[in-house]
Structure formats: C-alpha cells, structure tokens
A and B are shown apart, each in its own frame.
Chain A
Amino acid sequence: MKCLNKNSMLIILILIIIASFFISMGNGAVKMSPLKIINTLLYERDTSNFQIIWNVRLPRTIVALLVGINLSLAGAILQGVMRNPLASPSIIGVSAGAGLTALIILIIFPNYYFLVPIGAFIGALLATLLIYFLAWNAGIMPTRLILAGVAVSSLFGAGNNALMTFYPDRVSGVISFMVGGLSAINWQDVRMIGPYTLVGVFLLFFLPNELNILTLGDEVAKGLGINVEISRFRFIILASLLAGSAVSVVGLLGFVGLIVPHIARIIIGSDYKYLIPGTLLMGGSMLMIFDTIARTLFSPTEIPVGIIMSILGAPFFLYLLRKRRGSHGTRSKRT
C-alpha cells in the first residue's frame, strides 16, 4: 500500500464508495444493475421498482452512508484531539447518553417512541457536556476526560441495566437500538442526520491543520498560536453532534467510530489532510456494504448491522494491525 501515493489512494476510495452505493442499492429481494437503478430513478415514476428504490433502498443507503461518515469522522477527530488511539464517540458519552435516554423513552414511556431520535440526540450531547464539565480542572487533560468518560458511561450503563431488570417484559423493543441497525429507515431519518454531516464535513475540510497541530501536544500547539482549550472544546462538540445524530437514528453502533479511523490511518497515514477524506470515504463505504450484507445474508431475516460490523470488521482490523506491525500511525515518538 505504501507505493501508492495518497492522492491516488483517495481516488481509489472514491471509486469504492461509488461502487458500494450501487451494491447497496442493487441488492435485496429484487436485484438491479447500476444502469437499471439510474434509469428507474430518472424515468420511471409509477413502477414498483421505483417504489422500492425511492422509498426503501435510497433512504436506507443514504442513512448508512451518512452514519458511516459521521461516526468515523467523530472517531478520527477524537483520536487526534485526545491523542489517544482508544478514543471513540463512546468515550465522550455519546453512546451512554443516547442509550440511557432512548431506554427511558422506550421502556418507561413507550407511547412516545417517536421521540427516541430527538431524545437520544439530546442525551448524547448532554452526556458529552457532563463529562467535559466533570473533567474540567483549570483546563482539560485528555486523560482526565477519558477517565471521566469511562466513569460516566459505566454509571449510565448501570441505569440501563437497572431499567432492563425492572421492566424485563419491555426489553425486546430495546435490543435493536442497543445493537444498532438500519431497518425501517425513511427519508425523515436522512433529514435528521444529513445537516450535521454536511456541516461537519464542510468544517473539517478547513480544520485539518489545526487537528494535526493538536496531535503535537498542548505546548507546541499553544506555541503555534492555537488556543488549545477552545479548539479542543469545539472539536469535541463537533464530534458529539456528528456521532449523536447518527446513533439517535440507528442505535449504538459504537464500533465504527473506533475502527474506521484506524484502518484509514494504516492505509493513508495520520496527516489529517488525507485522513479526513480517507476516513469519511471509508466509513461511508463500509457501512453501506455491511448493511447490504446484514439485510441480504439471511434474507428475509435481517441481522442488525452492528453485529455484522463487529464480526467482519474486527478480524479485518486485526489483520491490518498485524500486517503493519510496528508502524501503526497513532503511536507517538518523544523527541
């Protein structure tokens, strides 16, 4: 992989994401070729094919794309800002906050199930702010933030478990949210996530330099004129918005945010100028492909994509990790 330069790598990733889009659109109960999909979208308005494509597959594919982009970008940002390879959206409380609010709604107020996306989104953001507040002590140390994140997550986790213990009869409706999946997605969900993706992606194309410099450590970053506290806070909130909007719609797909940035780092290096486009292309492709597998493998039964993600993603990640032993990009060197 090293012989390919970074720009050609990005072009390959663009081709892969286009291919992934058509694979996701073309597979299901009715198989369609890319040409057929385009024709249907452009010229057929009343056929059943159009109904399938427009109302079912297109929103679902777009949501998979957006969720993949949001979660993996959030992970890439956090790993840089915290200078820790284990950072992911769950570390800043996104999963815990979204999970607890979703569970409270689904178990205690099941009649208000339609509030789950909004509630989970707010829960994710509030959990991030809570963790940030708890970790603050005349400034933020990444390690304190991570530890506070772990503590708050386990506290919220206890709340989740308590709810499930007290209401065992209502647990079945909750599991799909906890695992994460893309069944019953519609255009409303696209509208829920889309704006954050657009804003996030737009901002991130202007900020790679700042992220790069933050990885050099607080002192160097400050010396180069960056207000480290403000910059870090902005990035954490951006990550929380990106990841929160995604999990509020599809449930707790935590793994994407941890694993995709690392795969991107191994393939394209840790310079954020390339890592950001690389991560978002890879995250989008990966989720579209994995969701296609999730809904077609044991068709008509669907497997939640969160399970597929972990079963296929983890071994692939471990394979890359071992193959490039000793030169993994997130380790830091002191000089």
Chain B
Amino acid sequence: MGLEARELKIGYGEKVAIKNASLKIDYGEIVSIIGPNGSGKSTLIKALSGYLKPKKGEVLLDGCNIKGIGGRDLAKKIAVLPQFKSSPDDISVETLVSYGRHPHLGFGKRLMKEDLDIMEWALEKTGLIDFKDRNILTLSGGEAQRAWIAMALTQKASILMLDEPNTYLDISYQMEVLELVKDLNQSLDLTVVMVLHDLNQAARYSDKIYVLMDGMICKYGKPKNVIQSDLLRDVFRIEADVFEDSVNSCPYFIPNKIV
C-alpha cells in the first residue's frame, strides 16, 4: 500500500520532460526527489499529485489509478504545496489555513466546529497559534511556509507533497521547514514526498531518495547508498568528498570542484 508510479512518461505538448519513471512510496516514509536543473523533478511531483496527466503509465494510490479518483476525494488523501504559490496580501493566517478544509466542506462551505478544531490543531502543530490573526504578508519566509503547511495539514491527507519548500529561504528557515516536516512525519506518521535542491538536506532528512537525470530515474535507495562520490560526479558534475555525519547518522559531502 502507498503511492506507486509505473512507467510514467510526462510532457508538455511535444516536449517530453519525464521519459520513463517508476517509483514506489510507502506510507510513513520521507521520500526526496533530487536531480540537476531541468531533470524533470517538478514535472514528476506534479504527475504524482495528479496535477499533470501522464502521457503514458499510471499513478496508483493504494492500488487505484488516481485518474479515477475525484478531485475532492484525492485532496483528502494527498495534500500538495507547489513551489510558487500566490496569496492575496491581506488575508490572515487563519483564513489561509481554513482553505485546507475545502475538500471536506458540504454545500454552502460553512466551517463547522470540527473544521475549526482541526484548524486549531494544525496551527498548534506548526507553531503558529499565536500568529493566527496575523496578515500573511507580515510573516517571515519560514513562517509563511509553515502557514502553507498548516493549510495542507487541515486537509487531513496521509501524503504531503512539497515542491522545493526551501526556495528563497535563508538557511535557518530552511532548517525550520525541514525540522517541521520531520516532526510531522514522526508524530503523525505523515508520508512526505518532496523535491529538494540541496543534496545534503535530502541526505539528512529523507528515508529514501530518487535521483532524476534527463527524465529518467538513475538511482534510488537509502541516502547512504545514493549520496556517493560517483553519483555526484556522474549526475551533478562535481568532485566531492563524502563523509559520515555520525550525529544525524547520514552522509554529507563537501564539493571540491566541477568536473
């Protein structure tokens, strides 16, 4: 059980971004998708979330093709945060978070006691309870990203997909977001699928890593089996020394030069 993609081919018009990709994500895992620019990371995650229809192949959720799952039902199982999100600059954190309840609301879209409780819980979980009346615009980058994650949490989905959640964030906010993701994964057993740019972060926070190159998955597995000097050289074109981080028990590397 979980999310499975079989032989996906995905493209925009004539252009093919993903040639052939199969992957399997089990419930409770944190899975990262990495790869150089233009390798098709965002395209792949968009197909996994059902936003893009693959030209070939299928995405199965618990064995069912997600093509056949209605939009609202899918939203109750998979929550998605794209890389670029826009929000009106005068809504409060609480209002943004309430939108996550949309797939659960009945006709008339009124928030019931249960919905308000879940919003409260999500704000608590993301440490934003004191920020709930704040305007989105006044938040720092990390706080804003947490607010979006809180919105996704109120969907009560079992899978959370994040496309480069750290773009444009300072290093401390990047850690803040990833620590939150880790905490949600451990305390809620939330399955996380994310596209990450920073390989050391992917190595540290993932249970499993898929590496994309030229629209194909060229390697996957546990971080220590993936983040190795030959992969860094062949896929990311850098010469690097790989070490073991004994505190976090994960690999990390220091880049030396471009190959």
Contacts and interface: CB of A to CB of B under 8 A. Distances in A.
Interface of A: 83, 138, 206-210, 212-213, 215-217, 219-220, 222-227, 269-271, 327, 329-335
9 contacts: A83-B86, A209-B99, A216-B85, A222-B80, A223-B82, A226-B102, A227-B71, A329-B88, A335-B136
Given A219-B84, A333-B89, 8 more contacts: A216-B99, A217-B82, A219-B46, A219-B51, A219-B80, A219-B82, A220-B80, A334-B85
A17 B152 CA distance: 40
Most chain B CB inside 10 Å of its own CB: which residue of A208, A209, A330, A335: A335
Interface residues of B, number: 42
A213 B91 contact: no
A138 B79 CA distance: 24
Given A215-B86, A216-B86, A332-B89, A222 B71 contact: yes
Nearest to A83: B86
Contacts of A208: 109
B103 A334 contact: no
Given A206-B108, A225-B75, A225-B103, A331 B141 contact: no
A217 B102 contact: no
A221 to B, nearest CB: 9
B108 to A, nearest CB: 6
B108 A335 contact: no
A269 B137 CA distance: 13
A212 B86 contact: no
B88 A225 contact: no
Contact of A213 (B81, B99, B136): B99
Contacts of B73: 225
Nearest to A268: B90
B246 interface: no
Contact of A333 (B46, B50, B76, B86): B86
B184 interface: no
Nearest to A212: B99
A284 B80 CA distance: 40
A40 B70 CA distance: 57
A254 to B, nearest CB: 24
Contact of B87 (A206, A222, A332): A332
Given A217-B84, A219-B80, A334-B84, A225 B89 contact: no
For the complex of A and B, list the 3 residue pairs with the smallest distance between their C-beta atoms, beginning with the closest: A225-B75, A223-B80, A225-B72
A214 to B, nearest CB: 11
B79 A223 contact: yes
Contact of B51 (A83, A222, A271, A333): A222
A335 B141 contact: yes
Given A206-B108, A333-B136, A270 B100 contact: no
Given A209-B109, A224-B102, A333 B75 contact: no
Contacts of A215: 86-88
B206 interface: no
B82 A220 contact: yes
Contacts of A217: 82, 84-86
A147 B155 CA distance: 36
A227 to B, nearest CB: 5
A209 B84 CA distance: 21
Given A217-B86, A269-B90, A270-B90, A224 B100 contact: yes
A85 to B, nearest CB: 11
B118 interface: no
Contacts of A83: 86
Interface string B149-182: 0001001000000000000000000000000000
Nearest to A80: B88
A332 B88 contact: yes
B42 to A, nearest CB: 10
Contacts of A271: 88, 90-91, 95
B92 to A, nearest CB: 9
Contacts of B152: 223
Contacts of B88: 215, 270-271, 329-330, 332
B105 interface: yes
Contacts of A331: 89
Nearest to B110: A209
B85 A220 contact: yes
Nearest to B95: A271
B87 A333 contact: yes
A207 B110 CA distance: 11
B69 to A, nearest CB: 10
Contacts of B108: 206
B43 interface: no
Interface string B92-133: 000100011011010111000000000000000000000000
Contact of A216 (B51, B71, B87): B87
Contacts of B90: 269-271, 327, 329
A95 to B, nearest CB: 27
Nearest to B79: A223
A157 B155 CA distance: 48
Nearest to B161: A223
Given A209-B105, A209-B109, A332 B100 contact: no
B72 A335 contact: no
Nearest to A269: B90
A84 to B, nearest CB: 12
B59 to A, nearest CB: 14
